[in-house]
């Protein structure tokens, strides 16, 4: 049976973080009563003229810069014709050729494998309204109509569902880091369509693709793409042809379903919108925006891995958002042991933050307090196990770990006199095991260590215990 390779390209829609809509001054805030935020432009009244929101252009260009794109100093709005009840103009105002940005890339890494994913284009467009189904009636709410979006179209460069999900995570982190979108996926601020096809492994042409619409979580992207790969493989193995179509992912049933056959670009009859002049972007402004760009999550993760010796996964996790990354760097420099800080953040701090609904920067446990805790573990003042046990309390109270440990007498026993007494007690209590060890069963060492640890309530310094046991048993 032929072996297949999956080919995946994503189209990602991001709602831009502007105060008003793309072509009118209606606000774009979430949660207003239906049709409260509507005017003659965004409700498609004949003769009403659009006026472009400059902020939307700036945000689209910033996204393009972050994705290594060429920024076109002149681009056009076109009408993309189709009928939806919640699309009052009868067309979507979008960009066909040229778009505001094109020809970029984003580097991702999955399980240590690097891949450069091409960005075909980024274009601006307006969102449609929403249909509400109430009993037998369908009502139209135009509050969302005219909301500014960018669509980021990738090249078909991804090869697995996991790569697609990681790509989307990176895009999310990046767009949020540069304040282009609020990134709220539950509210639909960032959503994606996944194009999937298969081809015989090693082939260079492209197979027929399907497009699964409106995936609104990383997990759904991964599941929908995996489902599509398996479904297409089964079709091909049965000798069936893949039908080019648009599909929907049903998250409850965990499957994709055919929705409609897929249009080609010419079906939309794109043509330049005569109501809107060309969009001109001043290259000098573009250079200013390029200079303003903060350190982006991808390069920051690479720097964390190189400068602090963090494992790639920890580096990516800690660099995802600026707040977490800043917290990490502050604590790492105070503690002198970045890997310990990374481990404590990953294993403890971020979990506590998530359950308390806090960002790291707003946690009662400041970077200085986390660094203090890390130094105590490094210096042997308390064990890693004790640090783990007291972490939730320390986190919530925001008190000095040293004072906390001293008050509760949690200090690790490093005094070899006390530990030696415990070791002697254990060796006297298990003569058969001692004989076994001396006869060659050296694996029994961990048995003795366990007994001593239990006898000291987990407080003995394991390194000291090991050393004492060895000198007594081997000596």
**Residue numbers of the site for ligand ADP (CB under 6 A)?**
7-11, 153-156, 195-197, 206-207, 209, 211, 265
Size of the site for Zn ion (CB under 5 A): 5
255 binds, among Zn ion, ligand ADP, Mg ion, none (CB under 5 to 8 A by kind): none
- Decide which of ligand ADP, Mg ion, Zn ion, none touches 221; Cβ closer than 5 to 8 Å per partner kind: none
User: Which of 22, 24, 190, 370 is close enough to bind Zn ion by CB under 5 A?
Assistant: 24
User: For residue 338, what is the DSSP state?
Assistant: H
Select the residue whose beta carbon is closest to Mg ion and give its number.
11
Q: Which is nearer to ligand ADP, 21 or 121 (CB)?
A: 121
Minimum distance, C-beta of residue 47 to ligand ADP, in the bound complex (Å): 30
For residue 223, give the H/E element and its range: helix 218-237
Taking a C-beta distance cutoff of 8 angstroms, is the pair 23, 147 a contact?
no
Residue keyed to tokens 């909301």: 147
- In the complex, minimum distance from the CB of residue 121 to ligand ADP, in angstroms, rounded to a whole number: 8
CB of 21 to Zn ion, least distance (A): 5
Nearest of 466, 41, 61 to residue 280 by alpha carbon: 61
Q: In the bound complex, what is the minimum distance in angstroms from residue 193's beta carbon to Mg ion?
A: 5
Dihedral-angle region of residue 398 (phi above 0 means left; psi in -120 to 50 means alpha; beta otherwise): left
Integer Cα distance of 134 and 368 in angstroms: 54
We find the least distance from the C-beta atom of residue 25 to Zn ion, in angstroms, to be 7
Other beta carbons less than 10 A from residue 360's beta carbon: 24
Q: Give the nearest residue (CB) to ligand ADP.
A: 9
Provide, rounded to whole angstroms, the least separation between the CB of residue 164 and ligand ADP. Answer: 10
* Spatial separation of the C-alpha atoms in residues 218 and 441, rounded to whole Å: 50
Shortest Cβ distance from residue 23 to ligand ADP (Å)?
A: 22
Closer CB to Mg ion, 11 or 255, in the complex: 11
Q: Where are the alpha helices (DSSP H) in 155-209?
A: 161-177
Q: Which does 155 bind (CB under 5 to 8 A by kind): ligand ADP, Zn ion, Mg ion, none?
A: ligand ADP
**Contacts to Mg ion from residues 269-298, by CB under 5 A:** none
**What are phi and psi for residue 270, nearest 5 degrees?**
-55, 135
Work out what residue 224 binds among Zn ion, ligand ADP, Mg ion, none; the CB cut-off runs from 5 to 8 Å by kind: none
If contact means CB under 5 to 8 A according to the sort of partner, which of Mg ion, Zn ion, ligand ADP, none does residue 147 touch? Answer: none
Count of residues in contact with Mg ion, rule CB under 5 A: 1
DSSP state of 100: S
Q: Give the C-alpha distances (Å, rounded to integers) separating 282 from 18, 67, 288.
A: 20, 19, 10
CA 68/CA 155 separation, integer angstroms: 14
| Sites for Zn ion among residues 39-68 (CB under 5 A) | 39, 41-42
Task: Count the neighbouring beta carbons within 10 Å of the beta carbon of residue 409.
Answer: 7
> Footprint of Mg ion on residues 11-40 (CB under 5 A)?
11
Residue 1 vs residues 199, 238, 239: alpha-carbon distances, Å: 13, 11, 11
DSSP states along 347-370: IIIHHHHHHHT--GGG-SS-HHHH
Please report how close the Cβ of residue 11 comes to ligand ADP at its closest, in angstroms: 5
Residues engaged in binding Zn ion (CB under 5 A): 24, 26, 39, 41-42
């Amino acid at each position: 049976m032929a072996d297949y390779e999956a080919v995946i390209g994503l189209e990602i829609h991001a709602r831009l973080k502007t105060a008003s809509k793309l072509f009118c001054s209606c606000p774009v805030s979430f949660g207003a009563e239906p049709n409260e935020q509507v005017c003659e432009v965004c409700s498609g009244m004949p003769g009403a003229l659009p006026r472009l929101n400059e902020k939307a252009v700036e945000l689209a260009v910033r996204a393009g810069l972050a994705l290594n794109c060429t920024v076109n100093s002149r681009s056009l709005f076109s009408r993309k014709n189709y009928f939806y009840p919640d699309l009052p103009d009868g067309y979507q105002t979008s960009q066909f050729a040229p778009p505001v940005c094109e020809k970029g890339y984003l580097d991702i890494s999955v399980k240590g494998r690097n891949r450069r994913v091409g960005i075909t284009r980024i274009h601006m467009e307006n969102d449609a309204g929403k249909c509400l189904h109430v009993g037998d009636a369908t009502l139209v709410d135009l509050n969302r109509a005219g909301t500014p979006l960018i669509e980021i179209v990738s090249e078909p460069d991804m090869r697995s569902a996991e790569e697609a999900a990681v790509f989307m995570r990176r895009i999310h982190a990046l767009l949020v880091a540069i304040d282009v979108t609020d990134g709220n996926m539950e509210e639909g601020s960032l959503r994606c369509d996944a194009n999937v096809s298969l081809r015989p492994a090693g082939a260079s042409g492209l197979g027929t693709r399907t497009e699964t619409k409106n995936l609104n979580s990383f997990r759904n992207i991964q599941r929908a793409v995996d489902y599509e790969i398996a479904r297409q493989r089964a079709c091909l193995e049965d000798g069936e042809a893949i039908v080019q179509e648009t599909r929907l992912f049903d998250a409850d049933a965990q499957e994709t379903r055919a929705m409609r056959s897929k249009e080609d670009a010419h079906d939309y009859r794109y043509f330049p919108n005569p109501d809107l002049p060309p969009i001109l972007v001043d290259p000098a402004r573009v250079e200013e925006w390029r200079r303003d760009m903060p350190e982006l999550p991808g390069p920051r993760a690479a720097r964390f891995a190189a400068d602090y010796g963090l494992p790639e996964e920890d580096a990516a996790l800690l660099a995802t958002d600026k707040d977490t990354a800043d917290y990490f760097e502050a604590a790492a420099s105070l503690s002198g042991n970045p890997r310990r800080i990374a481990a404590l953040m990953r294993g403890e701090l971020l979990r506590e933050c998530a359950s308390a609904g806090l960002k790291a920067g707003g946690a009662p446990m400041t970077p200085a307090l986390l660094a203090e805790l890390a130094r105590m573990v490094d210096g042997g003042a308390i064990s890693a196990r004790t640090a783990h046990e007291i972490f939730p309390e320390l986190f919530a109270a925001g008190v000095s770990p040293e004072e906390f440990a001293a008050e509760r007498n949690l200090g690790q026993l490093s005094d070899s006199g006390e530990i030696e007494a415990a070791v002697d007690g254990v060796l006297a209590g298990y003569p058969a095991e001692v004989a076994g060890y001396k006869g060659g069963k050296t694996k029994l060492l961990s048995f003795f260590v366990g007994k001593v640890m239990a006898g000291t309530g987990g407080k003995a310094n394991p390194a000291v215990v090991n050393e004492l046991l060895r000198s007594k048993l081997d000596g």
